[in-house]
Structure 1
Amino acid sequence: MAELPEGSVVFGVFNETSDTESRVALTPDIVTRLKKSGVTCLIETRAGEMAGYTDADYAGAGAEIAEPARIVAEADALGFVDRPSPALVEQLKPGTWIIGMLGSFTDADYVASLERRGLVAVAIERLPRQLSSAQSMDEMTSQNSVMGYKAALVAANAYGSFLPMMTTAAGTIRPAKVLILGAGIAGLQAIGTARRLGGVVTAYDVRPASRGEVESLGAKFLDLGLDFSAGQGEGGYARALTPEEQAAQQAAVDEKAAGFDIVITTAKVPGRKPPVLLTRAGVDGLHRGAVVVDCAASDLGGNVEGSIVGEQVTDGGVKLIGAPYLASEVPTTASNLLARNVADILVHFVHDGRLAADMDQELDRAMVVAGAPAGQPSAETGK
């Protein structure tokens, strides 16, 4: 076992590969970048294999391949694609920093367990993305971008005809009509990809600024005849609509959706139940052979009423695909982006060869949800 450089921060990454996860929170290129910031990397064997990186690639960049027990014992900070399991939390030594999407908006008990264990928890979902200094740390943006791209490809693959108009000796095939619901990062990527594939694309979002963004990509903005002028929430994310607004929106979308061949929904509200944008009635109104891809499908529900994780075909012949793991299906690019996000967050907290949070800084105060320095307010309780 090699000796780690004295005085360096040790960053550890586990193998999170599963049936639904192919990404890794560290890539060889980032190992090299972190070395320049005084960070030494430990990574579990085969952690990057599904993303196209071998143990030899990591070793060549300067990382050490280590067993999980060594990572637990020696790492000062750990980076995750998701978050450490409760069983792993109990193994971690007090004072260890963990960086990941921790579900802090909806799982207070989990955050409390991190606090009890004496861990310093950095929740990426709480990143104040409006800060210019936070842009390179924004995992939500990077992974949603990958998700939107893949959503268009999944829809095109599932649709039983061409997306572009095609003139053949047997006649002209009309282009597919594609509706994107939610024009955030994922939605805009889906718009651009669907257009490049030749679809006629229309999109809708409650945020006033989204019309210009949609039209700048050459798509048409869907006019529902409704006004949700206060449609943008904190941090640039779409806010959750009121029950009355949701009912009006659903009725209008259901009616308009019937004219489309493909519907892609991308309206996630981080850590919370996503809004329903297409009801069962809306799905039933689609023609046989239509495809719906719900990127927000999860245990909390989805943008499409009745969607589940996986694929189903309704009695009316509509293919409904609940696809929350799309970023993992583009593992190399998704890992490259995610690893940069996690590394930049880590480096932000490295000061003079040690890890420290300054709770007077907005970014630190927002993201550190457990293990706040003594005498400073907790990001979770404000007390």
Structure 2
Amino acid sequence: MRIAVLKERAAGESRVAITPETVKKFIGLGASVAVEGGAGLGAAITDDALREAGAELGSAAATIKDADIVLGVQAPDIASLAGAKPGAWVAATFDPFRNAALVDAYAKAGFEALSMEFMPRITRAQSMDVLSSQSNLAGYKAVLAAANEYGRAFPMMMTAAGTVQAAKCFVMGVGVAGLQAIATAKRLGAQVSATDVRSATKEQIQSLGAKPIFVENVAGIEGEGSGGYATEMSEEYRKAQAELVSSHIAKQDIVITTALIPGRAAPRLISDAQIASMKPGSVIFDLPVAQGGNVEGSVADQIVEKHGVKIVGYSNTAGHLAADASALFARNLFNFLSAFWDKEAGKPVLDEEIGNAVRLTQGGKVVNERLAAQ
């Protein structure tokens, strides 16, 4: 069983899907591991460190040759897989709803695409969930990036020259990233409030010491949406939420938006008029900017200033913490494959529940039900 890891080709991608730790673990299962030279440098992992762990380092062509399983952060293009075994597995993030052409190409080439974003949100798959591990880091980094652009201190400071008031931070969307953003802003000393369309998140917000801001006169979602995400709300709720946000956002110094709906563009949460109501010097971090953004006028990887407010957003927020992001991503991949490792067969054999959830292509066809439903 040959596992191959290529250097990430996507612009700005500094993460890598393997670490010395997981190289050793895969070898312990009986697999061989090949890594393209320089693949880990963006995450501060040297070729020597991977080689010492037991990996074979070489060119892209040598790495991919006869590979049974290819691991990636972002799925490689078909040309990069030339030389892999027919029917090889590729476990990576595919962004399949927006990359239908890539998924079709994998099917036509006969590769088995395993989309790590489609990992089901069930207890036994928690250690395999790349979205959670990467979102956790992204929520943390979003607050740090906003703090870096904010021209004032976060915590209250009492000095001989007078008191510096604590920053007011509002988090919109209380999933994994939002919860980490709340926790990080609290640790930095801000006064934190948060909102979500799922009323069940009130207790989570309060448990972190933040103030929940919710529409009270219109029903929201009582529990979790599909896979732990929110779903689209009624027009009545959207109007009520917009009014509430408008009154609250004008008083905030920092706003972190994190809302995503799988398979759709990120919902618009903040309009230009709402930005105009904020104080000059305020900062908004739009975490889903690469998926269309929650904030009107946000641009990925640029600082946009509107009405005296800075709007920030990275196309790859977790990638700004490449070393930790790679370590967690690589562990997710190992936990996924090792959980199904058949010692007699010398390879992983997926079960139906998780296999059917993550498998996009098989036998020359697109087989995933979630894609078929689009």
Interval of TM-score (by shorter of Structure 1 and Structure 2): over 0.9
C-alpha separation in 1, matches of 2:364 and 2:101: 20
| CA shift for structure 1 position 210 | 0.8
Equivalent position to 2:183, from 192, 199, 202: 192
Quick check: 1:218 aligned with 2:209?
yes
Which consecutive residues of structure 2, in runs of 5 or more, have no partner in the other structure?
none
Is the Cα contact below 8 Å between 1:231 and 1:239 reproduced in 2? Answer: no
**Counterpart secondary structure, 1:46:** coil
TM superposition shift of 1:370: 0.4
Question: Equivalent residues in 2 for 1:65-76 (5 A)?
Answer: 65-76=57-68
Of 152, 164, 172, the match for 2:155: 164
Q: In structure 2, the residue corresponding to 1:57 is in which secondary structure?
A: helix
**Contact 1:151 / 1:295 at 8 angstroms: preserved in 2?**
yes
How far is 1:119 from its partner? 0.3
**TM-score between both structures, scaled by the size of structure 2:** 0.92
Aligned residues with identical type, % of pairs: 38
Point out where structure 1 has 5 or more consecutive residues left out of the alignment. 1-8
Deviation of 1:99 after TM superposition, in Å, equals 0.6
Structure 1 runs (4+) deviating above 6 angstroms are none
- Partner residue of 2:287 out of 288, 295, 315: 295
Q: CA deviation at 1:233?
A: 1.3
Q: Could you tell me how far apart the structure 2 residues matched to 1:160 and 1:259 are?
A: 16
Contact 1:311 1:319 in 2 (8 A): no
2:97 match: 105
Q: Is residue 102–residue 125 contact of structure 1 (8 Å, CA) maintained in 2?
A: yes
1:195-246 per-position Cα deviation (integer Å, ceiling 9, x unaligned): 1111110011111221111110111111333431346311112223344433
Aligned residues: 370
Corresponding letter in the other structure for 2:191: V
The answer for the alignment partner of 2:275 in structure 1 is 283
Distance 2:169 2:187 in 1: 12
* 2:196 matched residue in structure 1: 205
Tell me which of 133, 136, 141 is aligned to 2:132.
141
CA contact (8 A) 2:219 2:237 kept: no
Hey, what's the Cα distance between the residues in 2 that align with 1:261 and 1:100? 37
The yes-or-no answer on 1:340 pairing with 2:338 is no
Residue aligning to 1:263: 255
Judged with a 3 Å threshold, the aligned counterparts in structure 2 of structure 1 residues 324 and 269 are, in CA distance, closer, same or farther, namely farther
- State the Cα distance separating 1:21 from its structure 2 match: 1.6
- Residue 79 of structure 1 corresponds to which residue in structure 2? 71
Please give the alpha-carbon distance, in whole angstroms, between the structure 1 residues aligned to 2:234 and 2:214.
Answer: 19
What is the distance in 2 between the residues matched to 1:167 and 1:339?
Answer: 44
Q: TM-score, normalised by structure 1?
A: 0.90
Q: What is the letter of the counterpart of residue 121 of structure 2?
A: R
- Say which of 10, 14, 17 aligns to 1:22: 14
**Of 141-150 and 162-171, the range deviating more from structure 2:** 162-171
Displacement of 1:144? 0.2
SS in 1 for 2:106: helix
Task: Tell me if the contact between 2:156 and 2:163 (Cα under 8 Å) persists in the aligned partners.
Answer: yes
Does the 8 A contact of 1:266 with 1:294 survive in 2? yes
Using the TM superposition, give the Cα deviation of residue 315 of structure 1 relative to its aligned residue in structure 2, in angstroms.
4.0
Change (3 A) 1:282 1:239: same
Alignment of 1:1-150 (within 5 A): 9-16=1-8, 20-89=12-81, 92-130=84-122, 132-150=123-141
Q: Deviation per CA, 1:312-347, whole angstroms, max 9, x where unpaired?
A: 343411000022322111111111100011122223
Look up the SS of the partner of 1:268 in the other structure: coil
Counterpart amino acid of residue 104 in structure 1 = P
Aligned-pair CA distance for 1:284: 1.3
* Change over 3 Å in CA distance of 1:171–1:214 after alignment to 2: same
**Farther-moved stretch of structure 1 (92-101 vs 227-236):** 227-236
| TM superposition shift of 1:47 | 1.0
Partner amino acid, structure 2, of 1:159: Y
Q: Which residue of 2 aligns with 1:240?
A: 232
Aligned residues of 1:89 and 1:114 also touching (Cα < 8 A): no
Post-superposition CA distance 1:272-308 (Å, at most 9, x none): 311111111111111100000000001x411112211
Q: Secondary structure at the match of 1:292?
A: strand
Aligned counterparts of 2:372 and 2:349: Cα–Cα separation in 1 = 17
The residue that corresponds to 1:316 in the other structure is 307
Contact map agreement 2:337 2:348 (CA 8 A) in 1: no
For the aligned residue pairs, the C-alpha RMSD in angstroms reads 2.2
The answer to whether 1:173 aligns with 2:159 is no
Correspondence for 1:4: none
- The answer to whether the 8 Å contact 2:136/2:176 transfers is yes
Indicate how the Cα distance of structure 1 residues 17 and 48 shifts in structure 2: closer, same or farther if over 3 A, else same: farther
CA contact (8 A) 2:64 2:82 kept: no
